[in-house]
Structure 1
Amino acid sequence: MTALKLHNALETIWGRPRGWRGVLTNVNHSDLGLRFMIAASVYFAIGGVLAMLIRAQLSTPRAAFVGPEIYNQLFTMHGSLMMFMFAIPFFEGLAMYMLPKLLGSRDLAFPRLSAFGWWCYLFGGFILLGAMALGLAPDGGWFMYTPLASKTYTPGINADVWLLGITFVEISAVCAAIELTVSVLKLRAPGMSLMRMPIFAWYILVTAGMMVVGFPPLILASTLLEIERAFGWPFFDPERGGHPLLWQHLFWLFGHPEVYIIFLPAAGIVSTVLPVMVRHSLIGYGWIVGSILVLGFFSFGLWVHHMFATGIPHLALAFFSAASALVAVPTVVQIFGWLATMWAGRPMLWLPMLYIGGFFFIFLLGGLTGVMLAMVPLNWQVHDTAFVTAHLHYVLIGGFMFPMMAGIYYWLPRLTGRRSHPLLGRLGFWLVFAGFNVTFLVMHLTGLLGMPRRVYTYQPGLGWDWPNLVSSMGSFVMAIGFAVVVIDLGLAVLFGRRSSRNPWRAATLEWALPMPVPSYNLASLPHVETREPLDRGHALARSLAAGEGYLGRDREGLRETTGVEMVSGRLTEVVVLPGNSWLPIATAAATGCFFLALLVGLYWLAPVALVVVAALAWRWAAALGSDTDRGPLDAGRGAVAPPHHEAEEAPGWWGSVFTLTADATFLMSLLFGYAFLATVAPGWPPPEMARPSFAAAGIVLLAVLAAFLAEREGLAASRAAATARARAGYGLAATALGAAVLALLAFGWLGLPAPSGHAYGAVVWVLLGYGVVHGSIAMLMLAFVRHRLAAGYVSPARMLEPRVVRLWLRYTLAAMLLVLAAIGLPGAASWRW
């Protein structure tokens, strides 16, 4: 097959339909990545306009530009848009676009999941923007602290918009995290071991893993506060056994890792772009990889340093203060690696390198003030002042925006096939750099002079007048700089000079792709033997375009890419990816209806939406897999590998592992809240302790054991091709699980207090609800496998779906037992029949 014929065949398989149908059904990672980046940039622009309004209000004392109500909405929406709608979605989009190209793959592991995440992100953003247009925007701060955000002090739906809209968006973030994690681990070019991966892939892998573990506490906190607001369950009400600090713990369990979730991808860009700009390979690759892993781990042990002023014990103050200072060590390791690379190379002051230089200056200052804030005495003095606002922006804008701009200009030829105007780009950089430092450097002084955060005005004569005026002037200079950058990028896309295939003479695989990038990325996939696989010429690119690598052929119209063993990079399977579909947008719309029903108080409609989501999920899963044993396939280059649904550890299985990891984090966070309230909340436990039922608990235990044994028998029969016996086993497992769910509900109804009277009842009923929901999901999955057995989609060779269901069922059974123990054991003396 000639290169042209191969291109046409693959474009037919991987391309999207024309018109609106193609826009709505497209699952291609390049298109979705661009959508995420463009939408995030729009949200950044909106957040920037809100920032200008905030600075206009604060530029002079007693300003009457906006009143306190509008000001509260402005700074809440500014923070929320920048943190949730811009920073993370932008790096997700960049990672979605670049990762397959860097890894030598044709797409991400779960293209339809990427599309579902995109539509959830878009619809969740519409909820926030629609509320802002109607004057109902959130007004409790982007941190939504209780009791300010409770129904008593925020009676409208403003807080509900934040809680439900942000939770909807966080579903998108978790989907992206699972997608990126599995893609880095499983969908690499053969031969690309973990230590041959591009350094950017390491940063994304650790960041995505942090998101899997870091986002569930926020989703839990938002869920609990929305339940309290909607139904009066008192999780955060101290008069009924709750505690407002529970919100802060759960929020900052997410909020501090969030800082590193934002920083690490930007640092990954620095580690990728800097070596190209200085014409020298990255020095200390292994040390930097180790520092990334340590930083990701440490970031989860620092959340309490946001709460130093809440009266926590001195031992905890000392521990978290020391940990907050020590976290600088892995960051410094990366900085030393970058400096050593610059020292050994020959820096070229192209525009990406200019932004990296700006990053070094600004992030260093932000890091120094971060170490200062880790010291408890200073933290007490400047807590909730403008000093903290300045530090936050130095870390986030300096540590994120400047590297991201370096990455955009570095990959602009890859994204558009064109180059930007060097003078206009430099003008934009200097305006942003100067405006940023004028705005926030002075704000440190404003905070040291005592100006608190989140105030809409101030009195003259306090020494805050001229620092606020200077900061406001600097912010407008910075805004002009960003406008110049936008104009420069727009002109580059429309009229810029056409770029060569590899203008920077880089050595990573994304520069081997043709221009413009085809929908399938590479006509055939490479075998990687070094960390810098791309030669300085075009020999590799030409051989891949001619189909001389892996999968350089059209096989029955299937979307194929390579799957590898996670550590060694050895070829293990041919991954067959699903094509374009309406299912992602339909499922996202049904999920959006669920959140909208809760927002407007139509609670009866929410279960209907969930039923629709379940039906669409069934249809989604039913569209995957194969009803034929295909055996080892010709993968090219003399290699053979089975299709992924006949492999032992397919991407779908690993996707379930990381999904359940996020789920387990949600449960652990809930149990943490239970233990926290039992330790510190007033009036805990209530006088009317629960009186759990032995009978109901016994039925739960017996039903769990029956479900475990029946599913085990069903899986064994499936492996033996005994279809009738397998279907009977799965049917019995579903029945037993249904009995466990009913018994768990009876356990609550017979012995637990009402959830609205005391926080104890509220928390244990949420625990029960967790078990019931997961039991219902597992029942649906068992029924699905039973159906697939009858349809011929399961055989001794094709065991992926039964193995995934076993994983989910065993997690569900363990979770139900853990819930039962958590509720019953503290009150074991009061058990009754």
Structure 2
Amino acid sequence: MTQALRLHRAFERIWGTPRGWRGTLSTVNHSTLGVRLMVTAFAFFLIGGVLAMLIRAQLATPGSAFAGPDIYNQLFTMHGSIMMFLFAIPMFEGFAIYMLPKMLGARDLAFPRMTAYGWWCYLFGGSLLLIAMVLGVAPDAGWFMYTPLSSKPYSPGINSDFWLLGITFVEISAIVTAVDIVVSILKLRAPGMSLDRMPLFAWYMLVTAMMMLIGFPPLILGSILLELERAFGWPFFDAERGGDSLLWQHLFWLFGHPEVYIIFLPAAGVVSTILPVMARTRILGYGWIVGAILALGFLSFGLWVHHMFTVGIPHMALAFFSAASTLVAIPTGVQIFAWLGTLWAGRPQMKLPMLYLVGFFVTFVMGGLTGVMVAVVPFDWQAHDTAFVTAHLHYVLFGGFVFPMLAATYYWLGHVTGRQYSYTLGKAAFWLIFIGFHLTFFLMHIVGLLGQPRRIDTYPADIGWTGYNLLSSVGGFVTAIGFGLFVIDLLLQFFHAPRTRRNPWGAGTLEWAMMLPPPSYNIASLPQVDDREPLEAAPDLALSLARGEGYLAEPRNNWRETLAVETASGRIDHIVVLPGNTLLPLWTALVTGAFFVLMLLGLYAWAPVPLIGVAALGWRWAWVQGGKQPFGKLPIGFGDEACVHAEVQGSPGWWGNVFFLSANGTFFGSLLFGYAFLWTIAPNWPPPELLTPSVPILAIGVAGAAVAALFGRRVRALKGPVAGLAALFVALIATVWLLAPSPTSHAYGAVLAVLLGYGALHVALAILIGMFVVRRRGAGYVAATLGAEPRIARLWIDYALATGATALIGAHMPALLA
């Protein structure tokens, strides 16, 4: 038996997925979960495409009775929701989950069980929307859910509730996946892979995931507030009771415009990875591209009012957001010129992935130019809410995401299947998709300039739009035929294509340094990376790694081991022992889903029960990790030694909690923004008769926070902070119970209830986490003894102190200032 075969069998026994239904449900392997996510996202894409064809069939001729207004509203709402929330974001998440550990030279992501939990949440949340469509009660207020149209008086059915609860469920998946991606990129890389040696795709995904942590919480907050208004009558968006419908638009577009770049950046990462291989040279301007990625991520958060130019924004704000919307084209242009320079410097070969990249260049540049047009306020006033904007959106998103992902499919499909591309249907599919797309949406620019509004189900015959709409519909069906050929081509490759050789494209990145399809553990030993393209610098690297000539080459203790490195330098930091297969993610997702289903059915009294179940499963989830025996430094290869993650300070768990609390802080900041917005914009806000200050309750809460901060300076001192947090919790609940006005009478009372409830919830969580660590320490677990878990608890205690005290002071401030 050769050394490579011996290692393969030994690692498969540890990392492999057991056969049978239990193994299928319990697997936490990133390759399996990534493929599942991509396949499911593509299935949703096909469903969304069918809905698009139904829309085009309705608009092909004037006065069409193909679908009535109610059904048509459901069609365009579900089409937009599926494409934005159930296809685009999950597709690149699945691709990142599958590909990132392989590119980074790791054996899995940092939190495999969180990866599995995110997958199940996505599947269940998306299924809720499909069930609504099958039952004929699909969301019908638009994928943007503008209030007051989506409020109870104008959408009295359950349709909008399916959107609000289903999308929020899906967003949980997005948040946990983003945390997983950020920590994996920053910590779980091959030794020697410093930040300036990372593949560009990892840079793109790092910025994208951090944007998700900042951009998604405002939408989650807005969905929660709107569902509270619909379910309990809390008037956050009701102008007659102190709310403002524009608050929804601000919260939605705080998410909505960064999301355009959240979708574009991973696709751009695909372009930056494939293009140099097709050009047979290295990427031009690596540092400039990284700078452009960072600039684009930063600038994208200053554009949300770009979508609100017509709602009555002050002229100074219009000028600022118009300038910012134009400025964001600069980092995009830097990337495009770097790609063109790479093609110019290399020897491009027009293989199938390159053909789709050409389609990307043409389509995305056209979409970018129309984007600069709608960034100009006078033009936007004319084109707003017309088919011109719909066309621009599709040019940017379809051109900027779908074409690169089609290129990625043909480039990396052999990596997943182990088979080489050998059919020619892909070229025919490209030309049908490319021609059909431009025929559909280029004409929509014209008919939009002729005045056709968005989201109409019919139009008069004598208005001059008929020819354009008929040709657009023909183009849509041509595009659909192209995707049909694409699906047939994929099936042929899966089942009939010959086996491929390792690294068929001659690429230099690490994902090609393994067997195809890759084993469950990726690589038998981890490489030392000294170049941005390790396979180009060391052509024999793949074989040496398979023979165990790298780090962590010998399995031990049945552990799933990989290495963590220092963030900037890439020097070895510690060993990460990853958890194995378990049903906990599935059960946790099911219990989480039970909460959303009970809310959907109006069984509000029972809804807290699943939340208690989630807390219990979370306790169990954390309790089964770690051990009671310290190991000290262990050999890892080449004479080096390292400790396991439970015995070091900056473990992946600590980093994961840092970034999760960052997203949580964005949620809280959005809540404070909503509070300040209503205080500033809504008239007579808050009403003087509703102000009831209480200095004693405020003093109790502030004193409790001070005690918790004072006694919690040492990481291991947890009993003192827990007592102080208890006093703060009592003050928060007393303020809600005794002082806050009824949340149904005025938006002021509703905002106070949410603000104080948020603070009380996180104080309670911090108390629970502190008690958990105290119990773990008493049970003798190493992580609790050496400080890894107390440091995580300290993070939550500090966060609860900050947010709880801020909520308490913020709730009392109007009364104290009056």
- What is the TM-score of this pair, normalised by structure 1? 0.97
Cα shift at 1:738: 2.3
Matched letter for residue 767 of structure 2: M
Matched position secondary structure for 2:577? strand
For 2:478, the equivalent position in structure 1 comes to: 477
For 2:99, the equivalent position in structure 1 comes to: 98
One of 804, 810, 815 as aligned partner of 2:798: 810
Matched letter for residue 377 of structure 2: V
Within 5 A, what are the aligned runs for 1:103-122? 103-122=104-123
Matched letter for residue 780 of structure 2: G
Matched position secondary structure for 1:615? helix
- Paired residues of 1:629 and 1:798 also in contact (CA < 8 A): no
Matched position secondary structure for 1:372? helix
Deviations 1:766-810 (A, max 9, x none): 100000110111111011001101110146873110000001100
- Paired residues of 2:250 and 2:304 also in contact (CA < 8 A): yes
For 1:693, the equivalent position in structure 2 comes to: 694
For 1:645, the equivalent position in structure 2 comes to: 646
Cα shift at 1:539: 1.5
Deviations 1:529-568 (A, max 9, x none): 0001013885111111111101001111000000000010
Matched letter for residue 300 of structure 1: F
Cα shift at 1:239: 0.4
- Paired residues of 1:778 and 1:808 also in contact (CA < 8 A): yes
Cα shift at 1:421: 3.5
Cα shift at 1:256: 0.1
Matched letter for residue 602 of structure 2: G
Deviations 1:245-295 (A, max 9, x none): 000000000000000000000000000000000101000000000000000
Q: Distance in 2 between matches of 1:533 and 1:557?
A: 29
Matched position secondary structure for 1:191? coil
Q: Distance in 1 between matches of 2:369 and 2:213?
A: 29
For 1:725, the equivalent position in structure 2 comes to: none
Q: Distance in 1 between matches of 2:683 and 2:168?
A: 29
For 1:776, the equivalent position in structure 2 comes to: 764
Deviations 1:716-756 (A, max 9, x none): xx4xxxxxxxxxx5344333322321221112333221111
Q: Distance in 1 between matches of 2:304 and 2:105?
A: 37
- Paired residues of 2:574 and 2:642 also in contact (CA < 8 A): yes
111-120 or 793-802: which moved more?
Answer: 793-802
Matched position secondary structure for 1:457? coil
Runs of 5+ unmatched residues, structure 2: none
Matched position secondary structure for 2:685? coil
Q: Distance in 2 between matches of 1:102 and 1:426?
A: 28
Matched letter for residue 741 of structure 1: F
Cα shift at 1:451: 0.3
Matched letter for residue 775 of structure 1: V
Matched position secondary structure for 2:561? strand
Q: Distance in 1 between matches of 2:72 and 2:373?
A: 30
Q: Distance in 2 between matches of 1:829 and 1:317?
A: 32
Matched letter for residue 793 of structure 2: V
For 1:279, the equivalent position in structure 2 comes to: 280
Query: Aligned pairs, how many?
Result: 817
Matched letter for residue 462 of structure 2: G
For 2:752, the equivalent position in structure 1 comes to: 764
Matched position secondary structure for 2:308? helix
Q: Distance in 2 between matches of 1:353 and 1:734?
A: 59
Within 5 A, what are the aligned runs for 1:171-570? 171-535=172-536, 539-570=540-571
For 1:167, the equivalent position in structure 2 comes to: 168
Matched position secondary structure for 1:27? coil
1:822 aligned to 2:810? yes
Within 5 A, what are the aligned runs for 1:63-78? 63-78=64-79
- Paired residues of 1:437 and 1:474 also in contact (CA < 8 A): yes
For 2:47, the equivalent position in structure 1 comes to: 46
For 2:153, the equivalent position in structure 1 comes to: 152
Cα shift at 1:638: 1.4
- Paired residues of 1:238 and 1:682 also in contact (CA < 8 A): no
- Paired residues of 1:594 and 1:607 also in contact (CA < 8 A): yes
Q: Distance in 1 between matches of 2:562 and 2:476?
A: 47
Cα shift at 1:764: 1.2
- Paired residues of 2:366 and 2:395 also in contact (CA < 8 A): yes
473-482 or 753-762: which moved more?
Answer: 753-762
For 1:726, the equivalent position in structure 2 comes to: none
For 1:722, the equivalent position in structure 2 comes to: none
Q: Distance in 1 between matches of 2:616 and 2:596?
A: 17
- Paired residues of 2:784 and 2:790 also in contact (CA < 8 A): no
- Paired residues of 1:240 and 1:683 also in contact (CA < 8 A): no
404-413 or 383-392: which moved more?
Answer: 404-413
Q: Distance in 1 between matches of 2:785 and 2:554?
A: 25
Q: Distance in 1 between matches of 2:405 and 2:771?
A: 46
Matched position secondary structure for 1:418? coil
Cα shift at 1:712: 3.6
- Paired residues of 1:242 and 1:682 also in contact (CA < 8 A): no
Q: Distance in 2 between matches of 1:637 and 1:686?
A: 71
Q: Distance in 2 between matches of 1:794 and 1:761?
A: 46
Matched letter for residue 724 of structure 2: A
Matched letter for residue 68 of structure 2: G
Within 5 A, what are the aligned runs for 1:522-671? 522-535=523-536, 539-671=540-672
**CA 1:384–1:829 in structure 2 vs 1: closer, same or farther (change >3 Å)?**
closer
1:28 aligned to 2:29? yes
For 1:734, the equivalent position in structure 2 comes to: 722
- Paired residues of 1:61 and 1:465 also in contact (CA < 8 A): yes
Q: Distance in 1 between matches of 2:658 and 2:517?
A: 36
Q: Distance in 1 between matches of 2:670 and 2:364?
A: 32
Please, what is the CA RMSD of the aligned residues? 1.2
Matched letter for residue 786 of structure 1: V
- Paired residues of 2:773 and 2:784 also in contact (CA < 8 A): no
643-652 or 303-312: which moved more?
Answer: 643-652
**CA 1:346–1:156 in structure 2 vs 1: closer, same or farther (change >3 Å)?**
same
Identity rate of aligned residues, in percent? 62
742-751 or 193-202: which moved more?
Answer: 742-751
Deviations 1:60-92 (A, max 9, x none): 000000100000000000000000000000000
Runs of 5+ unmatched residues, structure 1: 719-728
Within 5 A, what are the aligned runs for 1:790-801? 790-794=778-782, 798-801=786-789
Q: Distance in 2 between matches of 1:200 and 1:515?
A: 20
